[in-house]
Amino acid sequence: RRVEGWIVKSSRAQAGVGVIKRTLQRSRYRQAWIAANYLVRRGVAVPRPIAFVERRTMGVIWSNTYVCEFLQGCSDVEKCVAHLVHGGYNSKLIEDFLEHLAMAVNKLCESGAYHQDLSGKNIYTRDGRTFYFIDLDGVVIGKPYTEAQRLKNHIQLYDSFCDLLNDRFLVPFIQRMCPPEIDLRVWMPTVRKGQAERRRRIERIWEKQGVSRTRTE
């Protein structure tokens, strides 16, 4: 929930197994706080971490509360690109937006962190120049950024924009996030195939949940 200029995320364990799990796997519940501080120290933009509180009794953890900055005036990048496309903005503005986004993603990856869900809904901006990464529970730190992880991130990002933009925009965008040794003639078909598989998985989930297949803006 939002409290003035903060976002407060609280979770409480169910009695029994839930409490044991939260206590034994405490690092999992601390991950957003740990990742946020790690990324801030390395100059990667994230909602500024304010506090992390654990409620404990005799070493047993009952609840967690994470407090971070509210990103006033920001929207996720999927909405921003939709606004640029539907607002009739010229191609140069869209290209510049994607170029700065690619630079932000590269900085995240070069920091030694891997975001397991780097979809557009987890990246926010207010000006198209500075980009903030959210949902930091899914960030893994201190491990090499592998080719498989890079591919997963590129599939997530491609899936975020391919309904709005064609490959004229998306191929240069993906290329900016690839090291020189990657051959785009091989890489892009793999990304497209992965995106199609990802979309099918999501639509199956939507179908089970009774959600419309039409993606909302």
**Three-class HEC string of the chain:** CEECCEEEEEEECCCCHHHHHHHHCHHHHCHHHHHHHHHHHCCCCCCCEEEEEEEEECCEEEEEEEEEECCCCCEEHHHHHHHHHHCCCCHHHHHHHHHHHHHHHHHHHHCCEEECCCCHHHEEECCCCCEEECCHHHEEECCCCCHHHHHHHHHHHHHHHCCCCCHHHHHHHHHCCCCCCCCHHHHHHHHHHHHHHHHHHHHHHHHHHCCCCCCCC
For 9-23, 52-66, 120-134, which range has the lowest pLDDT when averaged over its residues? 9-23
Is the pLDDT confidence value at 213 over 60? Answer: no
3-class secondary structure, 30: coil
The residue-averaged pLDDT of 55-65 equals 80
What pLDDT was estimated at residue 215? 47
pLDDT range class, residue 13, cuts 50, 70, 90: low
- Work out the pLDDT band at 103, boundaries 50, 70, 90: very high
Band the pLDDT of 24: cuts 50, 70, 90. Answer: low
Is residue 216 over pLDDT 50?
Answer: no
Examine the pLDDT at 18 and tell me if it is beyond 50: yes
**Mean pLDDT confidence for 72-83:** 97
The better pLDDT of the pair 97, 27 is held by: 97
How does pLDDT run across 177-210, given as a tens digit for each residue?
999 999 999 999 999 999 999 999 989 988 888 8
- Reply yes or no on whether the pLDDT at 121 is more than 90: yes
Higher pLDDT, 164 or 18: 164
